[in-house]
């Protein structure tokens, strides 16, 4: 197999194609537009469905429709567009229709900007929209990992009949990295037993999220919760890096996860025993492995490109407040900045590059409940 | 001439009278369940017409329905078809998704006026602009029936509703919206008409239009839509017969019946 | 070993392609590599830049607040990036469109009249490749032949007819520094 | 005149009365009793065998209560 | 002042009117429609603006517009409608335009049903939409409290130039209770210094959420976070009931909070030392008082009409797992059920009403991370 | 005759020539800042026309603008007016909110074709149906400019864009959508026209239309909308002059210029 | 002391109003009180019910899974609620439209031919008030005069002309049980 | 013929060239130099005083670069 340079957005698109995507519906929004543009020629070339929708709301409901027919359907967007999909996502989850969503996050709130961000963590891990459920949320740190996760996302979606979200940010969407692409999968046209195909010689099938009776709707919810418990049991993904002897633990996901990796290396060079815990599945959050690791370290530093959203999960799991470094609005933490934010300072003062007159870094760094309370 | 089923279901002897043949039976495309519609509500009438057309065209096993949010929210339980339930107003988008991946199936939406002409206007207009080969059964009863009779964009000038207690004032709340007229101008739309179910004669015409709308889809000509003026005795606070008169006397003048576009 | 390179200039000067070329070459040279552009509306008519990171191990941040190497193709880029260059870094500046900026003593400055050199090599639009040549002559972050090979392999179809001109421009850029380096030596 | 009759699905009827108004021979009337859902269902009062099986009751009925039968072969 | 019976929805509407609401824009949805219906006659009668929007998206952006003019503007909806407002809410928060939203929650996910629910806890407390912010979320337990909170909501919204959410459920919206209404406030027409009124003899004002530069957008976010920290410091509201000597603590909000109050009384009658902590502000969550209380009790039971959304906050704040009782889809926990779910059993077996043959109660009751991990 | 400002701003002596009077100056209703529009992009032209009209009507201090999401997203920084920035497509709803609470102010939206004719179709249609007394400047450049030239509902049949690489195929992606024609049928709409800025003569006609649109609002007659065919040299990959020719030769035949409704 | 009352019947039988009347009266009697209807589409054409809770202290749940008192105005309501009544509870059943259901021995059963009594009092639609009268005669959860007063104060404007009939119906209902109670005593 | 002139805001010009094509007397041309934003701005080459102040350059210019002046009183 060959390794080629791929732009993140295009690599994700191609990975979806190779994973057997039958239909794509989307709406342009920076920084994910290349996904849509790439698919606008690639899907028709393979005789598959590509359709630019009139809006994100249109797109998610087209996906809902195509997925109801048992097809591998997906859409992609970025933060404001994802907000518009919240109702549709809730319907999809409640109807137990499998589908895949890619969110290439950008700066918010509001129109914000088009720079990278991780501020959809809450929006995606805490039930997209109303009601009780969590999408299965996967957060790659490299283009290769994005491709690998995209490759299994439809399988996961169909296995659990659930919504699978690939959560990345503008950096991952826009950057190029070497990628080994999986081969194009040819899927037999096997219609799942719940799909709408026309009621030929069988009773009709309905796909709905309406359960008028409270007991019926509680029944659906108990079924969903049971499914989520299963997903939580089987689908936790994470990476630990140099944690074996770590005294200080950094927790970071996605792009920040890879930056933190550099920070770990830098800190190690300076003699600090630092490790990295990088959740890959954000829901289910890899709670047990983190809880276990947390017992062996002296301090935990969560780093995010948001105001501390994953931090809340980490605090809940480790049972107390943690240190936090957050950059927002498209500002990207540097490895140096992360090292500097580590609570325990190295004994020896170490020379460090990169302090030549740059403006002082604004950041949130704290150790209390207050703003996240 | 009464509507006639293509295939008489059974012959039977009735009280010793000569052999009687069924001319009017329960359609295959409906399920024999009790509906939750109010007495005299013409949603039921329209359900039957759609089911009869599907039966007559012999397409029951390849027809998919997209139900709306509105009083017809349970339509998927009443039709004997594969079907799904869209979010409020989004049925045309969901139908687009279905039809694009299953181009040989027949896909139709069944939508109320709040659903299609208010929250879901964007979805119907763009399905029409794209020329989606779907059929839209658009039930206009001039109110939000399901939520208790609030004003709809189709409510009549002066109409008192639970959210226009002084009567709809066009100067403040605007004039009723005319969907088939609006869609007729689009090349993607192949069939756009308005009918009513306020009398036996009109019901028969409505059935013909529904049939032609499905035929339009079978012929792959573009989007077909039949707006049907329908009653809501409950929220109009009328008896069922009075509600039909209201359609005839009040609604038809505002929503003229007719063909706005017929291709093929 | 990790090297971060920022290439900046006006939209249309080919800064993104120059970066991609470097990235392709780095991959061909079996390095870890990332490339990331500036993106979005501010590209429009204004300046564009990209960052390439070439490394012996997996790349952490694909961005560098203080890149080791900057290729500044126009005046605003030279002004913006000169002060950001990392300790002991390198600034290659297109003197056809930019004045030579003031730099810190630790920064090595390579002025190249890239437009003129490119025009001489056959096409004004090849100033980007000229600068790449000059860079590689100064800091051999990748072997020059690998970059030339990459040029052959990754030049987009619609520019294929310019392959020879590209190669010439690259060599001219390389030669310009080769010579200067020799002179300086 | 064609002779016919209707069969009424008493439990489907919601007692809306629409059919009563349209039968050309006034053969339909509401029962005084209730069906299981609490409605007064319609009944056929056709002791004279006046029903022609014209079917307009079936056309107007929103609840598919009627099956209509007619003497002789079905016209196509 | 007189006490009268009021239906919750109508009482909230009247309270908004009396608090000086200038403009209402809304869209019908059960179980909050009476709010809209009530205002459709009440607002015009006072010469104020009432407009039924074409959708919830239209409604929230009309509110955005009217609020940008410095007016007291609000809308109301229920869960699926709230999902549709997520993008607009994020814009409003980012633009720092004050506005008030009432969410009368119903069963989800998807279309669900119209029965009461508390499953918008996440959607409302964890940044409505994309980006980093939290609305100020107030959760009344009685119609009187709903009126009292509604009465201050515009003041809070204007004080902080922020989004204030009154979060209740179908029960509170539909029930009647005795209410003492505050008087009709007459507000002088004082235009705030940021409002759009026409640039008469002053430089133009802009209301925007666009900050193209990463530093600028981080600046906005730091400003928002600082404001949230202030809100967190000043706006925590809660009620403690019989907690002085409590060994077991129930934590519940809104309607469940009042039901839990009965459960406390019942358990006390059975000799159990039980108390109730009822957060009234859900964001900011009253973390300190709960943390303090938690140190004096043996066990904590969280009860919600959802799958355990607030539970996550409680676990984070008390630093470990808690007991949980959740009903969903419109099922309403009874006091008896809550008492039964208390982890410590009373020593003496106590006679209890209400067990005459009712179906066994389905519920989620657990003590682990799994499904919420 | 060149457009003439009502009030000459200054007299000045130019190089010893006789007294010259200004006939064309920088409008008060624009701010003297650099715009981010591409060279030759006619968004700038349209900005100027709107500003001149506001100046000439003397309503600068009571005019509120709602900017869109699209290339004109920064319009609020370019106009010397109180203004705000709506979410993508929602400008008519935001304008409704503003106008309803400030009925004496002049409220206008400035929207692109992706904004108004795609994601925001619902908002414009219902603002029109309600007869909101707002003015809509609708800039149709047949692409999503801001995001890099994707197909819009207004893209021409056959038009190659970054999301219709094989050219827009009406059989798959539908036909272009005609907004003023669609709105003209609504009683709430008082003025609905289409203009272009591809030549000096058309620019002058466009200005007159913009003026009449604002006058319609001043007269309280209903919603006024001017669709303006505009260029996007960058995404069309043309030089600015070629882009104007493209409007004339390719766009105008698909989007005929004209008055679809004029009341008052 | 806390009493929960469910009033159930067909839509149109006035069950919601009967409950509100009780709630108003309870408030007038300075009690804590809540009233809550069944709501939503299932009301349509089907059955309706409401729950009233009257208490000496703040009311917790406004719903009662096992109400102490049930007024069943039709057959489905009687069937549905009879088994749910709390220990030692009371079932008032409108025998004009419902058969007397089987009840547990601890439940007190009050059959009232409410439609007939109401018709006698002037209007068939007052069966709801008849049942209220019967209830208060059996269990004085509120003083009857307070309820009569509430009738005067809260009868909606459009039914004002029926005030006397309402009062008569209430008294007839009360009297029916008064008598029976006396007989039973 | 009316005499007039134009004043060019050199820094606003984006060098799109539209004005060059519409001047009836071909009085406008692009500078070879750049302005601060990197564009070749337009310049007036009217040594013969041919400019009539007709203003069509101002009408076509998307970037409000021109102020136009004309001799005599402004017509109203
Ligand atoms: C997003 C959303 N908004 C609002 C509602 C509430 N709702 C349910 S049905 C309905 C109106 C239906 O009216 P119409 O489409 O005219 O159908 P009808 O009931 O009259 O047949 C509304 C507003 C909802 N379910 N979802
Ligand atoms: C909800 C949402 N969806 C998508 C976008 C991305 N977006 C920004 S501008 C734009 C298109 C603008 O096109 P148009 O309205 O035609 O304006 P133009 O740029 O052509 O002037 C889109 C899709 C967004 N910002 N928000
Ligand atoms: S409320 Fe109206 S539309 Fe709905 S079922 Fe009843 S009569 Fe029909
Ligand atoms: S078939 Fe005709 S005649 Fe017979 S009952 Fe029906 S309407 Fe009357
Ligand atoms: S029309 Fe149908 S539902 Fe109505 S009374 Fe007649 S049979 Fe019954
Ligand atoms: S991209 Fe197109 S519409 Fe946008 S500024 Fe450039 S030319 Fe104008
Ligand atoms: S005003 Fe007329 S003549 Fe003078 S430069 Fe402009 S276009 Fe030419
Ligand atoms: S039209 Fe305006 S921007 Fe274009 S070249 Fe002429 S002066 Fe410059
Ligand atoms: Mg309706
Ligand atoms: Mg556009």
Banded pLDDT at F62 (limits 50, 70, 90): very high
Instruction: Give yes or no for residue B69 CB within 6 A of ligand 1.
Output: yes
pLDDT of residue G43: 43
Nearest-10 crossing angle of helices C144-154, C127-138: 150
Atom 2 in ligand 5: residue holding the nearest Cα = D61
How many percent of chain F have pLDDT more than 70? Answer: 93
- Give the ligand with the smallest distance to the CA of D12: 5
Q: Which residues of A touch F73 (CB under 8 A)?
A: 111
Interface test with A, best of C31, C39, C41 (most A CBs within 10 A): C39
Assign F264 a pLDDT band (cuts: 50, 70, 90).
confident
Cα–Cα distance measured from residue E327 to residue E362, given in angstroms and rounded to the nearest whole number:
8
Per residue in E120-144, pLDDT tens? 999 999 989 999 999 999 999 999 9
Ligand 4: which residue has its CA nearest to atom 8? Answer: D23
**Which ligand approaches the C-alpha of residue E111 most closely?**
1
Residue-level pLDDT at H74: 44
Q: Do chains H and E touch (3 or more CB pairs under 8 A)?
A: no
Q: Which residues surround ligand 9, an ion (CB under 5 A)?
A: B 112-113, 141, 145
**D32: which DSSP letter?**
S
8 A C-beta contact, residue E323 and residue E272: no
Q: In the prediction, which pLDDT does C184 show?
A: 56
Of E78, E28, E77, which is closest to residue E330 (Cα–Cα)? E78
Contacts of E200 in chain F (CB under 8 A): 61-62
Q: Which residue of D has its CA nearest to B238?
A: D16
Is some CB atom of chain B closer than 8 A to the CB atom of A74?
no
Cβ(A186)–Cβ(A175) under 8 Å?
no
Q: How far apart are CA C137 and CA A133, in angstroms?
A: 58
* Contact yes or no for B131 and F174 at CB 8 A: yes
User: Does the beta carbon of H45 sit less than 6 angstroms from any atom of ligand 7?
Assistant: no
Give the separation between CA F135 and CA F65, rounded to whole angstroms: 10
Check if the interface score ipTM surpasses 0.90: yes
Residue G61 to residue E174, Cβ atoms within 8 A: no
**Which residues of chain D lie closer than 8 angstroms to B204, CB-CB?**
59
Is G44 in contact with B36 (Cβ distance < 8 A)?
Answer: yes
Helices (H) then strands (E): counts for chain E: 13, 16
| CB atoms C60 and A177 under 8 Å | no
What is d(CA A62, CA A53) in angstroms, rounded to the nearest whole number? Answer: 8
pLDDT bracket for residue G1 (50, 70, 90): confident
Q: Is the pLDDT confidence value at E332 over 60? A: yes
Q: Do chains D and B touch (3 or more CB pairs under 8 A)?
A: yes
Which of B229-243, F150-164, H31-45 shows the lowest mean pLDDT across its residues?
H31-45
Give the side-chain half-sphere CA count within 13 A for C161: 2
Which of the listed CATH numbers 3.40.50.970, 3.30.70.270, 2.60.40.60, 3.30.70.2860 matches domain B28-262? 3.40.50.970
Q: At what angle do helices B43-57 and B200-218 cross, to 10 degrees?
A: 50
CA dihedral over F217, F222, F223, F226, signed as positive or negative? negative
Dihedral angle sign, alpha carbons of residues H49, H51, H53, H54: positive
> How close F146 gets to chain C, by Cα (Å)?
7
Domain extent at residue G165: 2-184
Report the percent of chain A where pLDDT is more than 70. Answer: 92
Buried b (16+ CB within 10 A) or exposed e, E233-250: eebbebbbbbbeebebbb
Separation CA G10–CA G18 (nearest Å):
13
Helical H segments across chain A, by residue range? 8-18, 33-45, 56-68, 79-84, 86-95, 121-125, 143-160, 170-174, 214-234, 254-269, 287-294, 309-318, 335-341
Other C-beta atoms closer than 10 Å to the C-beta of A284 total 26
**C-alpha B139 to ligand 3 mean position (Å):** 11
Lowest-confidence segment of A39-48, A89-98, E156-165, E345-354 by average pLDDT: E345-354
Q: For residues G44 and F153, which has the higher predicted lDDT (pLDDT)?
A: F153
> Which of F31, F62, F82 to mutate: most E Cβ within 10 Å?
F82
Q: Is the pLDDT of residue F10 over 50?
A: no
- The reported pLDDT for the residue numbered B13 is 45
State the pLDDT confidence band at H47, using cuts at 50, 70 and 90: very high
How much is the mean pLDDT over chain E?
92
G11 falls in which pLDDT band (50, 70, 90)?
confident
- Give the 3-state DSSP-derived string for chain C, with helices as H, strands as E and coil as C: CEEEEEEEEECCCCHHHHHHHHHHHHHHCCCEEEEEECCCHHHCCCEEEEEEEEECCCCCCCCCCCCCEEEECCHHHHHHHHHHCCCCCEEEEECCCCCCCCCCCCCEEEEECHHHHHHHHCCHHHHHHHHHHHHHHHCCCCCHHHHHHHHHHHCCHHHHHHHHHHHHHHHHHHHHHHHHHHHHC
Question: In the prediction, which pLDDT does G124 show?
Answer: 85
Give me the CATH number covering residue G156.
Answer: 3.40.920.10
pLDDT recorded at residue E1:
60
pLDDT of residue G40: 60
What is the total count of domains within chain C? Answer: 1
- Choose the residue to mutate in B78, B87, B112, B151 for probing ligand 1, maximizing ligand atoms within 8 Å of C-beta: B112
Between residues D35 and A82, the one the model is more confident about: A82
Task: Indicate whether residue B113 lines ligand 1 (CB < 6 A).
Answer: yes
| Mean pLDDT across G86-114 | 93
**Measuring CA to CA, which residue among A110, H63, E65 is closest to residue F82?**
E65
Query: Residue ranges per domain, chain A?
Result: 3-186+207-234, 239-351
Asked whether residue B83 carries a pLDDT value surpassing 80, the answer given is yes
Q: What is the mean pLDDT of chain A?
A: 92
b/e F186-200 (16+ beta carbons within 10 angstroms → b): bbbbbbbbbbbbbbb
If one compares E96 and C41, the residue with the highest pLDDT of the two is E96
pLDDT bin (cut points 50, 70, 90) of residue E345 is low
pLDDT in the model for residue E362: 35
- Measure CA F6 to chain center: 22
Residue of H nearest to F197 (CA): H60
Ligand nearest to the CA of G45: 3
Q: Does E359 touch chain G (CB under 8 A)?
A: no
Per-residue pLDDT band for D61 (boundaries 50, 70, 90) equals: very high
pLDDT score at E20: 96
pLDDT at C11 (0 to 100): 78
Question: Are F26 and H73 within 8 A, CB to CB?
Answer: no
- Residues of C with Cβ-Cβ distance to A5 under 8 angstroms: 20, 23-24, 27, 33, 35
D12 lines ligand 5 (CB under 6 A): no
Q: Which residues of E touch A332 (CB under 8 A)?
A: 214
Q: What fold characterizes domain H4-70?
A: Alpha-Beta Plaits (3.30.70)
Does A37 reach chain F within 8 Å, measured CB to CB?
A: yes
Please, what CATH class does the domain formed by E3-186+207-234 belong to?
alpha beta
**Distance between CA G24 and CA E149 in Å, rounded?**
24
Name residues whose C-beta falls within 8 Å of residue C58's C-beta, 6 or more positions apart in sequence: A142, A258, A261, C32
Provide the pLDDT for residue A352.
37
CATH code of the domain made up of E239-351: 3.40.50.920
Residue among H2, H5, H6, H41 to mutate when testing ligand 7 (max atoms within 8 A of CB): H6
Q: How far is the C-alpha of F67 from the C-alpha of F56, rounded, in Å?
A: 21
**Better pLDDT: C124 or E256:** E256
How far is Cα F68 from Cα F117, in angstroms, rounded to an integer?
Answer: 12
CB B140 less than 6 A from any atom of ligand 1: no
Alpha-carbon distance of E68 to E97, in angstroms, equals: 6
**Is there an atom of ligand 7 within 6 Å of H54 CB?**
yes
Selected residues 37-66 of chain C with any CB under 8 Å from a CB in chain H? 45
Q: Is the CB of H65 under 6 A from ligand 7?
A: no
Is B8's pLDDT higher than 80? Answer: no
Contact assessment for residue B197 and residue B233, using Cβ atoms and an 8 Å cutoff: no
CB E55, CB A48: distance < 8 Å: no
pLDDT at C46 over 90: no
Best mutation site among D8, D10, D13 for ligand 5, i.e. most ligand atoms within 8 A of its Cβ? D13
How far is A358 from B214, CA to CA, in rounded Å? 68
CB neighbourhood size of G79 (10 A): 14
- Per domain, the residue ranges of chain F are 28-262
Q: Do G86 and E170 touch (CB under 8 A)?
A: no
Contacts of B7 (CB under 8 A, 6+ apart): none
pLDDT score recorded for residue G69? 97
**Per-residue pLDDT, A186:** 81
3-state DSSP call for residue A170?
A: helix
| Residue G40 backbone zone (phi > 0: left; psi -120 to 50: alpha; other: beta) | left
Q: Residue A93 has which token pair?
A: 């989850």
The pTM (predicted TM-score) of the whole model is: 0.94
Mean pLDDT, rounded, for B81-97: 98
User: For the segment E3-54, what is each residue's pLDDT rounded down to a tens digit?
Assistant: 999 999 999 999 999 999 999 999 999 999 999 999 999 999 999 999 999 9
Where does ligand 6 bind, in terms of residues with CB under 6 Å?
C 44; F 37-38, 41, 43, 71, 141, 145-146, 232-235
Distance CA C3, CA H41 (A): 39
- β-bridge partners, F235: none
Strand pairing class (E323-326; E299-304)? parallel
Note the pLDDT of residue H1.
57
Q: Which chain G residues touch A212 with a CB distance below 8 Å?
A: 40-42
What average pLDDT does the segment H48-67 reach?
A: 97
Mean pLDDT of chain C: 90
Extract the tokens encoding E118: 């508390």
Judge contact between E111 and A131, C-beta under 8 A.
no
Name chain E's partners: 3 or more CB pairs within 8 A: A, B, C, F, G
C60 Cβ contact partners less than 8 Å away, ≥ 6 residues apart: A258, A259, A260, A261, A262, A263, A265, A335
Question: Do the beta carbons of residue E177 and residue G34 sit within 8 Å?
Answer: yes
Tokens of F32: 């003297």
Residues of A in contact with F69 (CB under 8 A): 111
Start-to-end C-alpha separation, chain F: 25
CB of residue D6 inside a 6 A radius of ligand 5: no
- A160 Cβ partners below 8 Å, 6+ apart? A98, A136, A227, A230, A231
CA A259, A260, A265, A270 torsion-angle sign: positive
Probe residue for ligand 4, chosen from D57, D61, D64, D69 as the CB with the greatest number of ligand atoms within 8 Å: D57
Strand E206-207 with E23-26, pairing:
unpaired
Closest CA to A308 of A119, A88, A87: A119
Query: What kind and span of H or E run contains F94?
Result: helix F91-101
Residues 213-232 of F with CB under 8 A from H: none
Residue H15, ligand 8, Cβ within 6 A:
yes
Output the six-digit token pair for A212: 């008028």
Mean pLDDT of E234-238: 98
Tokens, residue G65: 């899974």
Mean pLDDT of G75-100: 93
Contact F39 C45 (CB under 8 A): yes
Picking from A184, A140, A195, A191, the residue whose alpha carbon sits closest to that of residue A164 is A140
């Amino acid at each position: 197999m060959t390794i080629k340079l791929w732009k993140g957005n295009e690599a994700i698109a191609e990975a979806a194609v190779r994973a057997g995507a039958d239909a794509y519906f989307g709406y342009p929004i920076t920084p994910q537009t290349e996904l849509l543009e790439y698919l606008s020629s690639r899907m028709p070339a393979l005789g598959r469905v590509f359709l630019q929708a009139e809006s994100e709301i249109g797109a998610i409901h087209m996906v809902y429709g195509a997925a109801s027919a048992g097809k591998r359907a997906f859409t992609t967007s970025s933060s404001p567009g994802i907000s518009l999909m919240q109702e549709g996502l809730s319907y999809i989850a409640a109807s137990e229709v499998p589908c895949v969503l890619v969110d290439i996050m950008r700066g918010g709130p509001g129109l914000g900007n088009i720079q990278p961000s991780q501020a959809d963590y809450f929006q995606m891990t805490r039930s997209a929209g109303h009601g009780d459920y969590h999408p299965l949320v996967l957060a790659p740190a490299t283009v290769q990992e994005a491709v690998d996760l995209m490759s299994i996302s439809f399988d996961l979606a169909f296995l659990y009949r659930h919504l699978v979200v690939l959560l990345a940010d503008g950096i991952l969407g826009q950057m190029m990295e070497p990628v080994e692409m999986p081969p194009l999968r040819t899927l037999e046209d096997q219609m799942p037993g719940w799909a709408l195909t026309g009621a030929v010689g069988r009773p009709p099938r309905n796909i709905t999220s309406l359960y008028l009776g409270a007991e019926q709707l509680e029944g659906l919810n108990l079924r969903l919760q049971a499914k989520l418990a299963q997903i939580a049991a089987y689908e936790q993904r994470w990476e630990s890096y140099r944690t074996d002897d770590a005294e200080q633990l950094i927790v970071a996901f996605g792009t920040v996860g890879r930056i933190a990796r550099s920070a770990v290396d830098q800190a190690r060079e300076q003699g600090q025993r630092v490790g990295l815990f990088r959740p890959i599945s954000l829901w289910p959050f890899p709670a047990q492995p983190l809880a276990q690791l947390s017992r062996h370290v002296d301090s935990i530093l969560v780093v995010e490109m948001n105001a501390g959203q994953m931090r809340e999960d980490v605090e809940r799991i480790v049972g107390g407040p943690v240190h936090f470094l957050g950059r927002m609005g498209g500002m990207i933490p540097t490895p140096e900045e992360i090292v500097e934010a580590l609570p325990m300072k190295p004994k020896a003062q170490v020379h460090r590059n990169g302090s030549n007159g740059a403006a002082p870094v604004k950041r949130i760094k704290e150790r209390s409940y207050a703003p996240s309370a | 001439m009464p509507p006639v089923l293509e295939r008489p279901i059974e012959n039977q002897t009735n009280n010793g009278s000569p052999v009687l043949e069924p001319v009017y039976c329960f359609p295959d495309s409906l399920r024999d369940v009790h509906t939750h519609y109010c007495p005299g509500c013409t949603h039921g009438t329209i359900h039957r017409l759609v089911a009869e057309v599907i039966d007559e065209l012999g397409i029951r096993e390849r027809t998919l329905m997209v139900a709306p949010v509105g009083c017809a929210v349970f339509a998927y339980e009443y039709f004997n078809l594969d079907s799904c339930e869209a979010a409020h107003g989004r049925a045309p988008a969901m139908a687009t998704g279905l039809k694009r991946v299953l181009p040989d199936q027949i896909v139709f939406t069944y939508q109320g006026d709040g659903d299609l002409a208010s929250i879901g206007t964007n979805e119907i207009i763009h399905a029409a602009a794209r020329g989606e080969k779907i059929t839209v059964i658009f039930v206009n009863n001039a109110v939000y029936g399901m939520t208790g009779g609030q004003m709809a964009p189709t409510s009549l000038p002066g109409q008192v509703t639970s959210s226009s207690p002084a009567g709809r004032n066009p100067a403040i709340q605007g004039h009723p919206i005319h969907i088939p007229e609006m869609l007729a101008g689009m090349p993607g739309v192949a069939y756009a008409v308005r009918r009513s179910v306020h009398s036996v004669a009109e019901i028969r015409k409505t059935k013909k239009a529904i049939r032609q709308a499905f035929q339009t889809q079978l012929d792959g000509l573009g989007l077909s839509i039949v707006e049907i003026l329908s009653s809501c005795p409950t929220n109009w606070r009328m008896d069922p017969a009075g509600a039909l008169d209201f359609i005839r006397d009040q609604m038809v003048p505002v929503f003229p019946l007719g063909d706005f576009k017929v291709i093929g | 070993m990790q090297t971060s390179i920022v290439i900046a200039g006006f939209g249309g000067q080919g800064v993104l392609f120059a970066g991609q070329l470097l990235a392709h070459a780095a991959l061909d040279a079996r390095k870890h590599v990332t490339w990331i552009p500036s993106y979005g509306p501010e590209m429009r008519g204004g300046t564009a830049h990209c960052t390439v990171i070439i490394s012996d191990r997996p790349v952490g941040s694909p961005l560098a607040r203080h890149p080791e190497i900057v290729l500044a193709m126009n005046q605003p880029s030279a002004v913006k990036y000169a002060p950001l260059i990392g300790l002991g870094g390198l600034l290659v500046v297109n003197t056809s469109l930019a004045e030579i900026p003031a730099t810190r003593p630790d920064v090595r400055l390579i002025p190249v009249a890239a437009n003129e050199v490119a025009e001489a090599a056959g096409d004004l639009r090849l100033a980007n490749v000229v600068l790449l040549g000059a860079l590689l002559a100064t800091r051999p972050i990748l072997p020059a032949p690998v970059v030339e090979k990459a040029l052959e392999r990754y030049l987009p179809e619609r520019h294929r007819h310019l392959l020879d001109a590209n190669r010439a421009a690259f060599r001219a850029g390389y030669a310009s520094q080769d010579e200067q380096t020799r002179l300086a030596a | 005149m064609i002779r016919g009759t209707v069969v009424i699905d008493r439990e489907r009827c919601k007692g809306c009365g629409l059919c009563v108004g349209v039968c050309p021979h006034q053969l339909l009337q509401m029962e005084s009793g209730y069906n299981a859902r609490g409605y007064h269902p319609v009944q056929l009062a056709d002791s004279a065998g006046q029903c022609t099986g014209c079917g307009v009751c079936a056309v107007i009925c929103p609840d598919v209560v009627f099956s209509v039968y007619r003497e002789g072969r079905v016209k196509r």
